[in-house]
């Protein structure tokens, strides 16, 4: 492999820059040339490339977002788009690509690999919703941002003796909700994988706790359940306690990455290039059982993930 490309795709996540930096510097270590592909697969199809050297990735490890920009590209879902992407890589002498993103991005990477471009995926998403790995770049920073925000909302909830419903991101997955809910000692944690819609149970808990003198209530609601504002209205009507909804939104996606996100992203980015240097393709870098490893992309995409049973039990024991 002489020249590799690197792109970020899907939602941005803190730590992506650390991964890009590790890809570039590891590739240079192997004597490879590196092209930064702008705006994910959209930039690949538009041939938006930049030559990268060690200096291109200086001063970025501490920055959130992605210096390569990112996009969700519908064209890459089509066979025509995939064929074109592979041809463009060949035309520019790119024989390996590191794709930093989520499941959707890895589908494209798998297709590129079948079309003769060596591709390696690196899991970058705040949602932690990639089945083969227990760590994804950005999750640690996102949950830390969420707990800071929840702690702040709690101050106001306590002062006003209110109930707060705080909605956190995660798309269809409840990891951010579960971790931030447990880490802030919340009263209820609602996650799409397991929420049965039983609002009455929450209402009963609030009424009983208020009778015992509890001043404030924090309910963490995952984006996958959503409708926090209408939920707040119903809970206020049923309990008689002022209830407000706060949707944390994109603040969870930005910001300077935590140490863990910088360090793990560095390892994963570097490992992706090690794999390319070994002549591997169609692999996804992962972290499992305390070790960094890699999986076949199709195998990884077929894997299913659920919240670990013990964490769910813990959530039940420590909340209502």
> For residues 38 and 126, which CB has a smaller minimum distance to ligand F6P in the complex?
126
Q: Which stretch binds ligand F6P (CB under 6 A): 21-29, 164-172, 233-241, 260-268?
A: 164-172
Contact 39, 8 (CB under 8 A): no
Per CB under 6 A, the list member of 111, 154, 253, 262 interacting with ligand F6P is 253
Between 18 and 176, CB nearer to ligand F6P: 176
Label the pairing between strands 291-296 and 33-37: unpaired
* 171 assigned to a ligand binding site: yes
The answer to whether residue 37 forms part of the interface with ligand F6P (CB under 6 A) is: no
Query: Which of the residues are catalytic?
Result: 127
Annotated binding-site residue? 105? yes
Assess 104 for contact with ligand F6P (CB under 6 A).
no
Sheet of strand 163-168: strand arrangement? 188-190, 217-222, 163-168, 243-247
Q: Quick check: 223 binds ligand F6P (CB under 6 A)?
A: yes
Structure token pair of residue 288: 């499992």
Cβ proximity to ligand F6P, 36 vs 101, nearer residue = 101
Is 210 annotated as contributing to ligand binding?
no
Rule CB under 6 A: is residue 11 a binding residue for ligand F6P?
yes
Nearer to ligand F6P, 221 or 243 (CB): 221
The distance of closest approach from Cβ of residue 256 to ligand F6P in the complex, given in angstroms and rounded to an integer, is 17
127 assigned to a ligand binding site? yes
Q: Does 39 bind ligand F6P (CB under 6 A)?
A: no
Residues near ligand F6P (CB under 6 A) are 11, 125-127, 169-171, 223, 253
């Amino acid at each position: 492999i002489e020249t590799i490309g690197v792109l970020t795709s899907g939602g941005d996540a803190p730590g992506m820059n650390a991964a890009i930096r590790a890809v570039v510097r590891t590739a240079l270590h192997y004597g490879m040339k590196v092209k930064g592909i702008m705006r994910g697969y959209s930039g690949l199809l538009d041939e938006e490339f930049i030559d990268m050297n060690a200096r291109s990735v200086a001063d970025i490890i501490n920055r959130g977002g992605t210096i390569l920009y990112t996009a969700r590209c519908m064209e890459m879902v089509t066979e025509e788009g995939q064929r074109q992407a592979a041809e463009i890589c060949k035309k520019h002498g790119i024989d390996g690509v590191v794709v930093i993103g989520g499941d959707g991005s890895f589908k494209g990477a798998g297709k590129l690999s079948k079309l003769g471009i060596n591709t390696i995926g690196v899991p970058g998403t705040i949602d932690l919703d990639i089945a083969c790995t227990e760590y994804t770049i950005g999750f640690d920073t996102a949950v830390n941002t969420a707990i800071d925000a929840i702690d702040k909302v709690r101050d106001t909830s306590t002062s006003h003796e209110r109930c707060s419903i705080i909605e956190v991101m995660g798309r269809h997955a409840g990891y951010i909700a579960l971790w931030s809910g447990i880490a802030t000692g919340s009263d209820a944690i609602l996650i799409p994988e397991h929420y049965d819609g039983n609002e009455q149970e929450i209402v009963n808990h609030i009424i009983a706790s208020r009778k015992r003198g509890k001043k404030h209530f924090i309910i963490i609601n995952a984006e996958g359940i959503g409708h926090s504002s209408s939920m707040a209205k119903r809970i206020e009507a049923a309990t008689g306690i002022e209830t407000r909804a706060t949707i944390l939104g994109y603040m969870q996606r930005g910001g300077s990455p935590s140490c863990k996100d910088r360090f793990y992203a560095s390892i994963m980015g570097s490992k992706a290039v090690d794999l390319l240097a070994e002549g591997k393709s169609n692999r996804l870098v992962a972290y499992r059982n305390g070790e960094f490893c890699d999986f076949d992309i199709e195998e990884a995409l077929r894997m299913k993930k659920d919240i670990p049973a013990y964490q769910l039990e813990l959530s039940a024991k420590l909340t209502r």
